[in-house]
Structure 1
Amino acid sequence: MTAFILDGRLDSQLDVADRLLSLLQDTTTEPRTDAQLEALTLAVAADLPVLLWGEPGIGKTSALTQLAESLDLPLTTVIASVHEPSDFSGLPVLGDDPAVQGVPLAPPDWAVRLVRAGRGLLFLDELSTATPAVQAALLRLVLERRIGSLRLPPGVRIVAAANPRSSAADGWELSAPLANRFVHLQWTHDQEVVVRGLGGTWPRATLPRLDAERLPDAVDFARRAVCGLLTARPALVHRLPGTETRKGGAWPSPRSWDMTLRLIAFATAAGASRDVLSLLVRGTVGDGPGLEMLACLDRMDLPDPELLLSDPENAELPERGDRRQATLEGVVEAVRTRPDKARWDAAWAVLVRALDSGAPDLVVVPATTLASLRQEEWDVPAAIDRLAGAVELSRRADRSVARVSEVAGTAKAGR
């Protein structure tokens, strides 16, 4: 056997190889803004089952391993596709007198270890290769945390991973009942994260910091948002998709709306970004209903038009363009609802404030609408002169675009 002398010791070739492997595995972590990782940790904190969807080899399993280490949770990995249904529903075991005591369902060893530990991260890998019978057996585990007669403790969190059927080994579509129990997150790779990670530094997963003082307001905000949307759009309460592929993803039901409400409350208490909230909401009720929910949240989070009208000189307007425009339109609508000269003048002052602190084109439509609300006895405020230039400039730009389009259309027709 070939041997090497290192540090005064006689080492075999495998010993040296082990040292090299140890050096390759010696990595560190760093705090880094990562929307999908933050969404994952927020859903884990909310004690909701999460399903990571992604192509093979992009790091789903590695992310879960690093998450467990960061949260100091023992990781238990169960490959769903190599188990029988009885492994999740419980193995029947004969007792002393089955006629009197019945036949108990014994849990598998990994479930017993989780109960003894009292906490942990249960990772159900390769979920899309599990047969329909195994998926049916997983229903109670995912929702009720029960395996046979055993119940997993509250300190256990459940995360699963799956490949799309097109890239899964002998894959199956996820059943609708099982899919509706998960928060679905699309897991993608970030080139910069991969390169930095291969260099030895990976992003660190940390649980969100919840503001204790914001908890009651966060719950109230989430309830008002979800109930408000479903009151206005009752068709969204339950909408089972028509295709098997879509049934295996996120779709709206009373169960998934309850999950959405919980996630909105957690995201609000944690001060999560809109990108993170978007991933969570769309991953729970689907893209269409999720986008409607996000739009509803945007409207709820807008400044109160009455407060802006009461102190227009110090009005604080949203930075984002779509939210700023919605705010200005809300101010004009408030004047339309209860018109008087003082409120009309205050609305013009708000528009001037918006002109001074943002894109001029955003005030065009609100200014035009506000001008149409003027009554004969109302004097034109001085502020309107400042807005007239922006309105006229916008109209000239629109006319120029229209002329260019007309010329282009005529030239195309003449060919």
Structure 2
Amino acid sequence: MSVNAAEVAPGDALEILGAAWRAQADGDLTASWMLHGRPGVGKTEIVQTLAARHGAVLHDLRLSTIEPQDLRGLPYYDHETRRTLWYPPEDLPHGDAPSVLFLDELTAAAPALQPTVYGLLQERRVGTYRLPDATLVVAAGNTVEDGAIAYEMGTALSDRLVHLVVGADARDWVERYAVGAGIHPSVVAFLRARPDLLETTEAAIRRGETVAATPRAWTRVSRIVAAVTDRRQRHAMIAGTVGVAAAAEYELVADEIAAALDLEALLAAPRRDRAALYPDGLNGLTALGYALAARATPDTIDTTIEVLADIRDLRAPAQRALPLAELVSFGFEVLIRKAFDRGWQAAFARSEVYAAYMAERDAAGLA
């Protein structure tokens, strides 16, 4: 059966779960949540980020690896009451600390386990154990159509959940995820140019291919690029992560960026000498905008704003043919998001360069 729920980008799913967290804390809404999505789309990372953002303890249960008794606990005989009682498992939340109970791989759980999960999702209990009030319950899983090991979700299970379908979204991945995850600039520039290659699972299944590109796979590519210097070895690793075709296209862009971009030289040069150090091509300037935001620190943010804003004034013929205003806007969107997350807003308030940039946008009716 298809999941007839709203499809949202990972960043939007995180915001929705954040609203659920606040509503539950206020006593206005208590529900259990289900994230559907293809493998590698970022479901687990959404829940990890949610817990970290709210200072919550994350209890991560992989339901495909446990038995019903692992949730119910172990029985023991109470001689005083002459009754069998239960020791609840340590994997479940205990105490008053804010917690997220993450029931991962729910759709891969054995059918015999699902009735045990029902109580956690709806009544928030298993046997005599009850979930603490400060616990948010989130489940996740793949579907049969994703090519993953999964069971169809029955109505008794489905009705206990609020469902969200998490879909890969290149813009969301670049702007909301890449900076915080330290993704390599060449990967960001490539996926800005080829958003269709962020996630290729469906096409890979249709062609009978084992390896597909996913957001998780591109994160791994970024780490490979940063860690492996031998070109031949790196190519084999990248091809084994996102597939031969995607790897070949990515490496063309990566080579172009490596030849054109020297970020350290740009940041170190006096403003009057920087023009010759900017890349000429779209991929290089896209990577530069992202790299400036990713590398920004409290000590360098003033120079970062200056280097980024000056992209709009580049004069080389190849550069003037490019969407420079859009590239600057993209760079500032990513940089401002990072600055607000880190509390660096004052840098923009004191920057004369940024004030001039915003005045130009206002005059053009873009602010």
- What is the TM-score normalised by the length of structure 2? 0.42
Structure with bigger gyration radius: 1
